[in-house]
Amino acid sequence: TGYMANARWYPTLMTLPNGETLVHGGVDQGHNPVGVPEIYNNGGWRSLWGANNGEITSNDEGKWFYPRDWVAPNGRVFGMTGNTMYFLDWGGDGGTQIAGYLPNKTRSHTSAAVMYQPGKILQVGGSTNGDTQAEGSRQAITVDVTSGWPQVQDVQDMGWRRVWPSATVLPNGEVLVTGGSAFENKNIDAATTAEIWNPNTRQFRKVAAAQTPRMYHSVALLLPDASVMIGGGGAPGPLTNLNSEIYYPPYLFNGGEFANRPTIGDFNVQQGYNNLQNIPFGGDVARVTLVRNGAVTHSWDAGQRFNELAFQVQGNGTVNVSFPNSPNIAPPGYYMLFFMNGAGVPSYAKIVHLDGGNGSNNGAGAAPAPNPGPVAPPAPGPIGGDVHSLIARHSGKCIDVEAASMDNGARIQQYDCNGSDAQKFRIQDTGNGNVRFQNVKSGKCIDVDAWSQDNGARLIQWDCSNGANQSAHMENGADNSKRFKFNHSNKCMDVEGPNANNNTTIHQWDCLAGAANQEFWLN
């Protein structure tokens, strides 16, 4: 096997729909972030020079550390580093597309994330605002990319703060969350009690407690018997756990005893896409699921994903199972096939090799789908967005997030221009000549406080939404400046006073023709 173009420490490796392997992120021998992804195929490597994007892999928030990458249902690679969401295109020289920013709830490489259904991701714990040494997060979100563009939704909080947790998708499609503690690799409020998240109710429930805290370097891995091995963690630091525990989920029990399981008979485990496979079984079959074998380290399992399979029980003790129809939802590789009975008890898994070149003894394989080109995000969601400073025409000072805060509710003010990210805003097109302003440092948007329609209502930053109090119509002003009229109130962004001093509040006011304190240059 040939060498990569770059040495990499802590990169993500993943299988692409065509069976090639993508390596992304990491740092080199000098601890410099490696921005250019590479693809391995048949003993050789090629570099995706067009996919080198410093907003995705950088020292900021350790974005180079195991990028959270998945194959999306459209065949592109979707990923998250820090608070940045993106698409990575792997055809030709490659390319990237920034797809928005995560709210300050759960982010950074100290969080855990898993694709619990095709195109649907659960992320939990880690950092709230990007400071990985601060108090950890108990929050959770889902990110849905099934439409071709990410949609972020809040999830009920977990019971514990979890820095360096593990998230493991189970045979029934639920997600087990284990380990972590309140602060980065410190044995403070260690979360030994596990929680299970249900994708239908979107709720967590507390389950059994482990005997040992599991923190940095810990792992959790689904086993073929449907239990979960949880091990390691804490080194270097407060613990050196050279051990593991086995967690037996509730679905394995009938009261205080192990439940009777369905069984899977012998069949051809070399399977292709679109195959319809006849499989013998014992007991009864109410669900058939496919879970990709795990490859876990540092709170990140790049391989695992879950698929619900269609099936039809036959009258002769067999069941016809339909394997996935696309490598975009189940990339080539090894999977655990589970049968579950009416009580939700899973079988022991059969390990299946899914490959576009394999046909079964009852069905024909399909060739992998080609890599699609870039997918345009749907209207009316914000797209793209060039980064600018907003300079008040009357004072020559910049619009600024007070104290470079990362918090919801932080005041928007004017201040001497200093080139910091707290004074840079991504101006995003929301359609029909309207824009919103997303701060580069915090990822939050300029917002009229409490949806007020009154003169003097202050501007703050808040988690970005599609609210009209974050959307403004952009109009031309004097000397190539712009003014911004908020859609919910028809009032304009205005520097209070007008005042030329630092720390002057930015608020909304009746729009006044030619008012220099309502007009801003985009630098």
Q: What is the pLDDT of residues 163-182, one digit of tens each?
A: 999 999 999 999 999 999 99
Sheet bearing 21-24, strands edge to edge: 12-15, 21-24, 38-41, 44-47
Q: The pTM is what?
A: 0.73
Considering the domain boundaries, does residue 361 fall inside one?
no
Backbone angles phi, psi at 51, to 5 degrees: -105, 20
181 bridge partner residues: 163
* Peptide bond between residue 380 and the one before it cis (omega within 30 degrees of 0): yes
DSSP per residue, 42-64:
TTEEEE-GGG--TTTSSTGGGTT
Helix ranges restricted to H, 334-460: none
Residue 400 burial (CB < 10 Å; 0-12/13-18/19+)? Answer: buried
What's the pLDDT score for residue 371?
43
In this structure, which amino acid lies at residue 387? V
Q: Which of 210, 133, 152, 151 is nearest to 176 (CA)?
A: 210
What's the pLDDT score for residue 428?
85
Domain check: are 151 and 191 in the same one?
yes
Considering the domain boundaries, does residue 225 fall inside one?
yes
Q: Which helix (H) or strand (E) holds 338?
A: strand 333-340
Domain check: are 88 and 111 in the same one?
no
Which domain does 43 fall in, by range? 1-101
Domain check: are 107 and 233 in the same one?
yes
Q: Which residues of the chain fall below pLDDT 50?
A: 359-384
Separation of alpha carbons 130 and 61, rounded Å: 6
Domain check: are 242 and 268 in the same one?
no
What's the pLDDT score for residue 188?
95
Domain check: are 245 and 347 in the same one?
no
412 bridge partner residues: 401
The residue among 73, 101, 129 that closes a domain is 101
Asked whether 167 and 219 are in contact (CB, 8 A), the reply is no
Separation of alpha carbons 155 and 262, rounded Å: 33
Residue 31 burial (CB < 10 Å; 0-12/13-18/19+)? Answer: exposed
What's the pLDDT score for residue 247?
98
Our CA dihedral for 175, 178, 180, 181, rounded to 10 degrees, sits at 110
Domain check: are 389 and 487 in the same one?
yes
At a CB cut-off of 8 Å and minimum separation 6, what does 201 contact?
A: none
The residue among 82, 101, 120 that closes a domain is 101
State pLDDT tens for residues 28-85: 999 999 999 999 998 999 999 999 998 999 999 999 999 999 999 988 999 999 999 9
Considering the domain boundaries, does residue 295 fall inside one?
no
Considering the domain boundaries, does residue 394 fall inside one?
yes
Please, what's the b/e burial string for 53-88 (b: 16 or more CB within 10 A of its CB; e: otherwise)? bebbbbebbbbbbbbbbbbbbbbbbbbbbbbbbbbb
What's the pLDDT score for residue 356?
67
Domain check: are 232 and 265 in the same one?
no
Look at the alpha carbons of 510, 515, 520, 521 in this order and tell me if their dihedral is positive or negative. Answer: positive
79 bridge partner residues: 69, 86
What's the pLDDT score for residue 97?
87
Considering the domain boundaries, does residue 88 fall inside one?
yes
